[in-house]
Each structure stands twice: as structure tokens, then as C-alpha cells.
Amino acid sequence: MKSERDFLDQAEAYIKGELNEQEASLFKDYLASDRHAREDFIAHQQFIENIKRYGERVALKEELNNIHANLDVEEVLAYAMPKKPLIMRLWDKYKINSLVAASVALLAVFSTLWLTGFYSKDDTSRYIALRRDMNNIRQNVKAQNALIKDINKNKAGITTPSHYGATGFALSSNGYIMTTYHVIKDADSVYLQNNAGISYKGKVIYTDPTYDIAVLSIVDENFKDFGNLPYTFKQNAADIGEDVYTIGFPREEAVYGRGYLSSNTGYSGDTVAYQVSIPVNPGNSGGPVLDNRGNIIGVINSKQTETDGAAFAIKSNYVLKALADIPEDSLDKKIVINKKNTLANLSRTEQIKRVQDYIYMVKVY
């Protein structure tokens, strides 16, 4: 882009659908390749949406004010209501203020419902990122910890910490684990528990909120290197309809979920994510999505509530881009991504047996 003005002009044209197919495709590719441009575009898009909603609210308010100014309540009631006995008319005379107040209240209620999108059934109200569920769990955990501390004040002074869990998977043979950023955000401490129930102390090494990615390192002296990992990251795009699966920790033991890739974009056309038809829960967040040959094509990070099995996963090529941005001097050990896949010719059952040893429950305290 030549300047910020040119970028904003093209962004508005893209949002309004004024670009031709080739121009739109080039702009979309530019956003996918330039993180800062994509962030500016998202911010500008949200700004335009906010201005639009504000304009709609102002227009509705003016329309309601005009209706109210021209409304003759007594004339409407006189025309609409049949003649009543004298006693009833006298009663109505002193009840008119209540009727007007009730009418205004009803109008206010229905206007509020309309403004808040209650009648629009917008998909936005039906989309819930797993991070929101995780934040609710985080708040509940904090409240439980505070209560436990109060209870234990009168005992031996020992507190019992609570935790919430999600999923992570081995990133390299020397103890690096990948999960999602919203899982470990604001964490006091992190532990990683393998399929055998053994827990290791973890440390947050790197986070990328833009892609919702976090890298952890096992810093426990009892940990031994993984050895060669059996899977690899898929670097080219996956195809719609591909059979995919995930292994995660929506509960205290590993759970297998099978489905298919249903869209090459995520929520509202997000090019950073895939949509996959796999039922997920908050504990699945951070779990890998693998194809039939054992290639990781994405990382689970969100879901849509009113569509059964609709989940979203950060694409593997964006995961690799985020990893490439990690400063080498911030790492105690180099992250070496495995390039040899040993799962390709195995059955699904055998693949799961091999993979589950590298899937971890992420316990955040």
C-alpha cells in the first residue's frame, strides 16, 4: 500500500464490496501476509461497524421522538374505545396517566430488544469463543480459591488450590508444548499432565494474542525428552471435506473427536482459521487437529453454540509463522519442528495410540 490513506480507502471498498474479484483477492492475500495490515483492517472494520450502529440508534431515536410528538393519546382512545357508562368513563379519566406510562414502557422495552439484536438472530450472538468459557471457569476458580483460603485460615494454614484445564501438545522433542493464549492468560502457574497421569511444571515461553497461540516449556527435572515426534505440521492448505480428528481434555482423561473440515475460513470469513465439524468443549482448547495422514492442520480455539459440532481451529501455517517470530535469545533451547511423519501409513487406531502420548492436559492455577 502507498500510504495509510490508500490502505483505508481500499479497506472500505473491500468492506462495501466495491472491489472486483481480482482486487478483492489481492487485498485478501495482502491481509493474510501482513499481520499489522490485518490488525489495522480489523480495527477499521470494527470502527465502521460502531459508526453504523450508532447511526442506526440515532435514526431510531429521532423516529420514535417524531411519533411521540405527533401522537394524540386522547384522540386515539376516543376513536378506538366504545362508549362506556358514566362511571367507567370517570374511572378511565383518572387512569389515563397510567395507560400512557404503560405504553411508553412497552415501547421502550421493544425498542431496546430491537436495538440489542434480539429479533435479528445475528450469528454473532450465537458465536462463543472457547476463551469466553475459559474466562468464566477462571472467574469461578478464583472465587473458589478465595473461599478455600478463608476456610483454611482457621485450620493449619494450608490452602488447596483449584485449577481449570485445557489441552496442549508437544511442539518439539525437547519439551516445548503448544496451547492457546487465552488458556494461560493471567496464569499464576502452569502444570502439564500427560496421558499416564504424570504432571510436570511448565513455564510460559512465548505468547501471540493475535493468533491466540502460546508456547510452554516443561521445566521439571524429572522430565526426559520426547524423542522423535510422530507427526508434522501441514504447511499447505487443507481441503474441504477432509476427514480430521482431535484429541483433547474436556475432562480428566483424553477424549477422541472425529469430524471433517467444513470450511476453509473461520467465523465471519476469518482466513486465519478453519471451520471443522467436531464437537468441542472448553477443555479441548489448544488441542491439535490432524488429518488422515497424521499432519497437524490446526489448533482448536473456539466454537459456535447453535450449530452442532461447529468449531474453529487456527491454521497450521499461521502457527508456523508465529513460531518463526519468536526471538531466539528468549529461548533456553531451540525449537526444532519435526519434518518426518511416521503416522501416514497407520490405521486411525494406531495413530491415536502414538499421538496420545504427546497430548497434555494444561492445568492452570
pLDDT tens per residue across span 192-214 = 999 889 999 999 999 999 899 99
| Cell digits of residue 71 | 401522537
Would 73 be classed as within a structural domain?
no
pTM: 0.59
Neighbours of 131 (CB within 10 A): 20
What does the mean pLDDT of the chain come to? 79
pLDDT in tens, 157-173: 444 444 567 999 999 99
Would 13 be classed as within a structural domain?
no
| Cell digits of residue 175 | 519439551
What range does the domain containing 281 cover? 163-365
Would 344 be classed as within a structural domain?
yes
Q: Identify the helix (H) or strand (E) that includes residue 4.
A: helix 4-16
**Which segments of the chain are extended strands (E)?**
127-129, 164-170, 176-179, 190-193, 199-208, 213-218, 232-233, 243-248, 255-263, 273-277, 288-291, 295-304, 310-315, 359-364
Would 57 be classed as within a structural domain?
no
In this structure, are residues 215 and 178 in contact, taking their beta carbons and an 8 Å threshold? yes
Would 288 be classed as within a structural domain?
yes
State how many domains the chain has: 1
pLDDT confidence band for 87 (50 / 70 / 90): low
| Per-residue confidence (pLDDT) for residue 18, from 0 to 100 | 84
| Per-residue confidence (pLDDT) for residue 249, from 0 to 100 | 92
Q: Identify the helix (H) or strand (E) that includes residue 107.
A: helix 86-115
| Cell digits of residue 302 | 473456539
User: For the domain that residue 220 is a member of, what is the CATH number?
Assistant: 2.40.10.120
Q: Is 11 or 229 the better-scoring residue by pLDDT?
A: 229
Largest CA distance in the chain: 95
| Per-residue confidence (pLDDT) for residue 121, from 0 to 100 | 43
Would 91 be classed as within a structural domain?
no
User: Quick check: helix, strand or coil at residue 183?
Assistant: helix
Per-residue pLDDT for 190 more than 80? Answer: yes
In this structure, are residues 249 and 256 in contact, taking their beta carbons and an 8 Å threshold? no
Would 94 be classed as within a structural domain?
no
* C-alpha span between 178 and 43 (Å, rounded): 27
Would 253 be classed as within a structural domain?
yes
pLDDT in tens, 242-277: 999 999 998 888 999 999 999 999 888 889 999 999
Listed as own residue / partner, the contacts of 52-59 with beta carbons closer than 8 Å and 24 or more positions apart are: 56/115, 57/115
